[in-house]
Amino acid sequence: MIRKFFPSPAWARAIALSALAMVAGTGWAQSYPSKAVTLVVPSLAGGAVDVAARTIQPRLAQELGVPVVIDNRTGAGGQIGNTFVAKASPDGYTVLMNAGSTLFSGVYRKLDYNPGDLIPVAMVATAGFLLVVPADSPFKTMQDLIAYGKAHPDKLNYASTGTGNSSHVGSEMFKMLSGVQANHVPYRGSSPALVDLVAGRVDFMLDNKASSLEHVKAGRLRALGSTPRRVPELPDVPAISEVLPDFHIEGWMGIFLPKGTPPAVVERLSAAFRATQSDPAITSRLSGQVGQGVLMQGEELRRFIAQDQQRLRRVVEHANIRAD
């Protein structure tokens, strides 16, 4: 005897909803994107994240088939831009590009958004840093700076590009490992910080390579060290880890979307970034201007974020860094 199955009303509703979800997902994949995509950069023009965003912008627009508009939403160490994207409609048209340290360092205890509301899509580039001093500084080497900083507590002032970002946390890591005492002077981005550093109003700075290298080449600044390794443009400048073996900080720039973005849209954007990053011209320009063009996605990116978060939070807790 053949027994017929008649689904219960609950089963029928579940089947119907599943079918609708499949149709909706297919619809998103087919129709996205149908208008311009906004790439939110929560930092000033000219900084490492902005430079990287403008480097990939033309090719990304080509891959998506729509304009990609960069929106610099600055302030609060990147949190204004982060909040804007976290609370944006999860439709794939508002995308965040930011330094990972502003999201995962644990510096901000009171936020207008939950960092878990931003899902990582791709790492685009890593950014090296230079430890720089004014050109007429008496410090010729890292050892000179460390010796003075230990012998004269709190006589040194160091600049950063904002409380809680990689420049600040990296400088505190330098202090923690070297025993140097120095006062923090935060600025709103690299440009104003470098103006005061060149003028000698502050003593040193750990700045991203993208913004400080030209000052070094022009003779306005002197580089004492680099991270995470020696940079090809300054082969005689040692990596900081050659003097402080446990020192490791590397800025990285990632792409994030609001939680709840349809999987088909996430995959469409992921594919566009894979294609963009596979262009040798793009990776070459990123490497020359920022640090190193890379592409990391999926589980590999999630593991990297967990390790980076653990390393940064150790310094944040040691130095009691708080941005609120």
Domain boundaries, the chain: 35-127+251-319, 129-242
CATH topology (fold) of 35-127+251-319: D-Maltodextrin-Binding Protein; domain 2 (3.40.190)
Angle between helices 48-64 and 280-289 (to 10 degrees): 170
Residues pairing with 29 in the sheet: none
pLDDT tens string 37-85:
999 999 888 777 898 899 999 999 999 999 999 999 988 778 899 999 9
Please give the model's pTM, rounded to 2 decimal places.
0.72
Per CATH, the number for 129-242 is 3.40.190.10
pLDDT tens string 242-264:
999 999 888 888 999 999 999 99
Pairing of strands 204-208, 129-134: antiparallel
Nearest to 277 by CA among 251, 257, 259, 255: 255
* Domains 35-127+251-319 and 129-242 belong to one CATH topology: yes
pLDDT tens string 157-208:
999 988 888 899 999 999 999 999 999 999 988 889 999 999 999 999 999 8
